Amino acid sequence: MSDPIDACYVPRRAPVHADLTLRGLRHRVTRWGPPSDSPIVLLHGFLDAADTWQFLVDELPDDWSFVALDWRGFGGSDWQPDGYWFMDYLADLEALLGEVTPAAPARLICHSMGGNIAALYGGIRPGRLAWTVNLEGIGLPTVSPGEAPVRYARWLDEIAKRPRQAGYATQADLAQYLRTRNPRLTAPRAAFVARAWTRRNGERYRLAADPRHRIVNPILYRRDEAEACWRRATSPMLLVLGALSEFPARLGPTGTDEYFRDVFPHVTLVRVAGAGHMMHHEEPAAVARLVLEFVSTLAARSA
């Protein structure tokens, strides 16, 4: 069996990397396509990085322009010395949009954590978004207030210790681990993701994401507040679920199609057959077809 790194996915469209300072912190951004003052903005999920949007970008039209952000503490962006608070990502998104699409409503394609940020933002700033393609940014399970004392204590314990990463001897080791966790991920794409997710650290490769992201969040997830934001959104959303994803089921009654249609205004709900939560890694061509159909439908309505 050949080393997965030897069979690494080869991009069809060349990415261009640059640094952008947002709210005093250096962020890495990745661009594809011709220059534009209103590119489509790509927002990655937890522990991911902008680079892995490559699979989806390669399936979309060559004349589409994209810009993808590495969130603070992920990928090639700087780590935040004082830790991470979710609301900072809303402010980072607003700062990013002010830089890359200042004059036009923004178009977003986002996954998981990125989708949650975008869904909240769409209701906080109604009218700022033209449309959103949301790949399973569907919130977190409801947390009982009674869990607060234990959660606070756990947070205090965890911040008192310096989180460590064991790392990997080779990027191929991580690629093989990713395929063990997700057999739907092809070997070339697993190799590409392993390169995107790691940095050389001495004799080993560590994950590029700050390990402090794994410290428990002391702020309990309040789904009713998220719903209040979601319901205020005014722009169309394509909500894409993986047919094999376990994420909606984890949400119980707040993970049903009826629930999503109730809390997300102007939503079109679709599923990607044969794909799980990481659908843009597993079935990028299928996701791209859904994006193209959604955008074409919106264009026909406005014609």
Spatial contact of 18 and 77, defined as CB atoms under 8 Å apart: no
Please report how many Cα atoms fall inside a 13 Å half-sphere around the Cα of residue 94, on the Cβ side. Answer: 14
Is the confidence at residue 61, as pLDDT, over 80?
yes
Q: Mean per-residue pLDDT for 156-180?
A: 92
Kindly indicate the confidence band of residue 163, based on its pLDDT and cuts at 50, 70 and 90: confident
Is the confidence at residue 10, as pLDDT, over 80?
yes
The percentage of residues in the chain with a pLDDT greater than 90, rounded to a whole number, is: 92
Kindly indicate the confidence band of residue 303, based on its pLDDT and cuts at 50, 70 and 90: confident
Q: Mean per-residue pLDDT for 122-133?
A: 98
Burial of 126 (0-12, 13-18, 19+ CB in 10 A): middle
- Can you list the domains of the chain with their CATH numbers? 7-143+221-302 (3.40.50.1820)
Residue 162 pLDDT: 79
| pTM for this prediction | 0.96
202-260: pLDDT as tens digits: 889 999 999 999 999 999 999 999 999 999 999 999 999 999 999 999 999 999 999 99
Write down the H helix ranges in the chain.
Answer: 54-57, 86-100, 113-124, 148-159, 171-181, 187-197, 223-230, 247-250, 257-263, 279-282, 284-302
Which of these, 155, 172, 141, lies nearest to 259 by C-alpha position? 141
Is the confidence at residue 77, as pLDDT, over 80?
yes
